[in-house]
Structure 1
């Protein structure tokens, strides 16, 4: 039995898109573009992100998909990232996600990624995360990881974060510290 199948992931994504569209429609007139203004983003050194994690296809157990709580932390390494003419930052991200599968198996996914952030406006930022990770528990082994995500910023210190990629999808709250 699959704990959280493709249908569940689609429902979560649909709910997030609906929320994002309603938030964007509400604040679009007051939002201000900052992508061409390097350095105009929240001043932080660490981003803490508790989230819900929806994973699929772990190695070994044939468990299918599962979900559970997780945490991602990102340390900012470069304040004005690889492209000096735009508003971008680069950091290293790491975390741990506990995953429960429908067949009483559990695993912990430990990702390590490079996070490249692009600050589009005062309310929106997007990021890409290439990297890898490893599973511990009933599923063991290493996997490549690649994610893309976005944040809706309620303030300079608080954002709603969605991450989509392989091997997982997550939705959480980011705290810029």
Structure 2
């Protein structure tokens, strides 16, 4: 019987994420263009990671994130990009306990065309681990408190997208709504 280490499982998720992001370069039709700066406002987004891959294997994260635009034409005014502040809540099942993460990130998104965008996130994840619900003493797991990720979105409609995110403390697949 072959037992996979968490490193092998995590490596597969990164390969999947990089493949997904690489496919974004081959989109053929576009009305929006990364070379054309965005005009007007950006929508508020609601992301729902629905299948997570954490340090402890498949199924390790579920949650909701709200993204509020803070720089509507991003840090680079000559291209189509935007900066959001994201915050939300995630649940991580750990054996018989559940941990809670409260991510607060800066989310920088680049819009290649009407269908594809890519993003990077950096921030903190207020992590209430199994020690909260298991009656154990507090411990600071730095790896769970640092939040960073890269990912891509496939925009099915202007208000609905599929999202793939790879980073720390987990990688995930989910959906996104824009309002």
TM-score (norm 1): 0.76
Following superposition, which runs of at least 4 residues in structure 1 exceed 4 angstroms of deviation?
4-25, 139-142
* 1:114-168 CA-partner distances (Å, limit 9, x unpaired): 0011101111100111111111141564612111110011111111001111111
Which residues of structure 2 form unaligned runs of 5+? 132-138
The CA distance in 1 between the partners of 2:108 and 2:19, in whole Å, is 25
139-148 or 84-93: bigger deviation = 139-148
Maintained 8 Å contact 2:17/2:151: no
Written as runs of structure 1 = structure 2, the 5 A alignment for 1:66-77 is 67-77=60-70
- Aligned-partner Cα distance in 2 for 1:175–1:32: 20
Going from structure 1 to structure 2, the CA distance change for 1:23 and 1:148 (only over 3 Å counts) comes to: closer
Give the CA deviation at 1:5: 4.3
Q: State the match for 1:90 in structure 2.
A: 83
Residue from 147, 150, 161 that aligns with 1:148: 150
| Distance (whole Å) between structure 2 residues aligned to residue 55 and residue 128 of structure 1 | 18
Contact 1:53 1:97 in 2 (8 A): no
Query: Paired residue for 1:107, among 88, 94, 99?
Result: 99
Uncovered stretches (5+) of structure 1, i.e. residues with no partner: 57-63
Alpha-carbon RMSD across the aligned residues, in angstroms, is 3.0
- In the superposition, the TM-score normalised over structure 2's length comes to 0.76
Cα displacement (A) at 1:8: 5.1
* Number of positions where the alignment pairs a residue of Structure 1 with one of Structure 2: 164
Greater shift after overlay, 11-20 or 167-176? 11-20
